[in-house]
Amino acid sequence: MGFNKEKTQKLLQDIDVLFDQLPMKMSAKQRAYIKNVVLGPALKDVQKMIEESRPPVMMTLGRSGHGKSSLINALIGKEVAKVNPVVPETRGSTYYEVPFEEYGATWRMIDTRGFFDVINEGRGHREDGVKQLKKEILEHRPDIFLHVINIKEVRTMSNDLLVMKDIGDTLKKENIRIPIVTILSNVDILGNPTLPIETPEKQGQIIQGMNYLIREVFQIEEPKVKFLNLHHPARGYILKGDHYVGIIPVSTYPDNLWNIDTLEEFIGEVLPERAKLDYLQVKNQTAQMKKFTTSVIKRFSTVAGGVGSSPIPVADFFVITPLQLLMIIIIGTLSGKEMKIETAHEYLAAMGLNIGAALGFRSLAHQLTKMIPMGGMFISGGIASSATYALGKSAEMYFFHGKVVNPKNIKGN
């Protein structure tokens, strides 16, 4: 199961429910303090992060028949866009609102009509076509362009580039920057179609195709190009340009998908922060989701540091414990666990802490302090913060990598 945004959001809105799950035995005053001063700010912060996230908006561009609709289907993992071998299939732009119910997430995909039609409908029409395309771009404000080019046609791309330049100029005037990922499709049927894509011969042809595009079509200088994967140069290039950010070869043919995972990961990196959560939770990408976790850990550590800004006696360390438990639960949730106290228990048990139902809250706090490095009788803000950070990192290693690492062995932030 993956991280479910809607469900998590609902749970976060109901602090009381979560709070009641924590093993608390304390006075009403203590309870109010923890709730309002300690947990409140941290929860609000995470809640805000989730609330502000929105569906990613991805727009395909490219000539008719080059594989725009096939790409959309490959990314979504099922057929939503019509695919047709001969007749231009996508006539006007098609807008897809793609719900992923199991994750409570949504993607927005706009499958545009082919450039080819736009360019070849005679002078007047061409202008109209590009104008229409620009109108749609400004209307939908995509986070990313997926420019699909059949790898066999890289040599005939000058018309496409004119359209791209035209679009680029318009966006510049409006002060909008939309990164373009160039996707070279049809690599499976490049050269000898019976050869598997991973053969050296085929990989060489793919690299040739990418190089041609870079040198002759984009005319980008070598230093601005980097391999996406050093061990597999044919998986794609990163471009250090303002607009063109990468070239990724793929096969979107359903029976012979290739390199879609590289593309998926790359899109995850290029999307703006706000659009990432909805995208990543669907793709369940550990590496990317961890970036999210990192910011959760930082936020919780900061709040813990604030609580300890007037030194608190070690004996009172328990005021931070709920905060830390909650952080562990949220990290577990981001990794795909359920948002409940048992998720924290699972981690603590793996660390060798036995959290039976009968265990009092103070004794849990006491056990936690033993796991976390701190000397002396008082906890300063700095220690509260770095201890919380170490605990978060340890929980992250456990939930994301199944590794048991004592927070004591984690160096500070």
Ligand X SMILES: Nc1nc2c(ncn2[C@@H]2O[C@H](COP(=O)(O)OP(=O)(O)OP(=O)(O)O)[C@@H](O)[C@H]2O)c(=O)[nH]1
* Distance, CA of 212 to CA of 240 (rounded, Å): 17
Residue 169: what are its φ and ψ, rounded to 5°?
Answer: -65, -40
Q: How far is the CB of 109 from ligand X (least distance, A)?
A: 12
Least distance between Mg ion and beta carbon 83 (Å): 7
If one asks whether residue 288 binds Mg ion (CB under 5 A), the answer comes out as no
390 binds, among Mg ion, ligand X, none (CB under 5 to 8 A by kind): none
3-state secondary structure of 409: helix
CA distance 362 to 395: 21
User: Helix and strand tally (H, E) in the chain?
Assistant: 16, 10
**Binds Mg ion (CB under 5 A): choice among 4, 69, 288, 324:** 69
Closest CA to 58 of 170, 177, 180: 180
91, 118 contact by CB (below 8 A): no
The one segment of 251-259, 289-297, 320-328, 378-386 that binds ligand X by CB under 6 A: 251-259
* CB < 8 Å & 24+ apart, contacts of 349-357: 350/398, 350/404, 351/394, 351/398, 351/404, 351/406, 355/23, 357/23
> Is 393 a residue that touches ligand X (CB under 6 A)?
no
Strands (E), 115-160: 144-150
Interface with ligand X, residue 205, by CB under 6 A: no
Structure tokens at 33: 């303090």
Q: Which of 160, 188, 264, 278 binds ligand X (CB under 6 A)?
A: 188
When binding is defined by CB under 6 A, the residue of 253, 269, 294, 381 that contacts ligand X is 253
Q: Are 313 and 93 spatial neighbours (Cβ–Cβ below 8 Å)? A: no
Q: Considering the rule CB under 6 A, would residue 202 count as an interface residue with ligand X?
A: no
User: Between 169 and 261, whose beta carbon lies closer to ligand X?
Assistant: 261
Contacts of 209 (CB under 8 A, 6+ apart): 151, 154, 184, 187, 190, 249
- Chosen residue from 69, 262, 386, 388 binding ligand X by CB under 6 A: 69
Residues 6+ apart with CB under 8 A from 204: 234
The answer to the question of residue 148 lying near Mg ion (CB under 5 A) is no
Q: Please, which residue, 114 or 392, has the CB nearer to ligand X?
A: 114
Q: CB of 134: closest distance to Mg ion in angstroms?
A: 19
User: Which phi and psi (to 5°) does residue 296 adopt?
Assistant: -65, -45
- Point out which span in 6-14, 88-96, 218-226, 287-295 binds Mg ion (CB under 5 A): 88-96
Contact region for Mg ion (CB under 5 A) — 14-22, 84-92, 175-183, 322-330? 84-92
Is residue 83 a contact point for ligand X (CB under 6 A)?
yes
Q: Does 185 bind Mg ion (CB under 5 A)?
A: no
Spell out the residues 6+ positions from residue 167 whose beta carbon is closer than 8 angstroms to its own.
Answer: 130, 133, 134, 137
Q: Which stretch binds ligand X (CB under 6 A): 11-19, 78-86, 313-321, 372-380?
A: 78-86
| Position 89 contacts Mg ion (CB under 5 A) | yes
Find the binder of Mg ion among 90, 185, 205, 386 (CB under 5 A): 90
Chain residues binding ligand X by CB under 6 A are: 62, 64-70, 83-85, 88-90, 114, 185-186, 188-189, 251-253
* Residues at the site binding Mg ion, with contacts judged by CB under 5 A: 68-69, 89-90
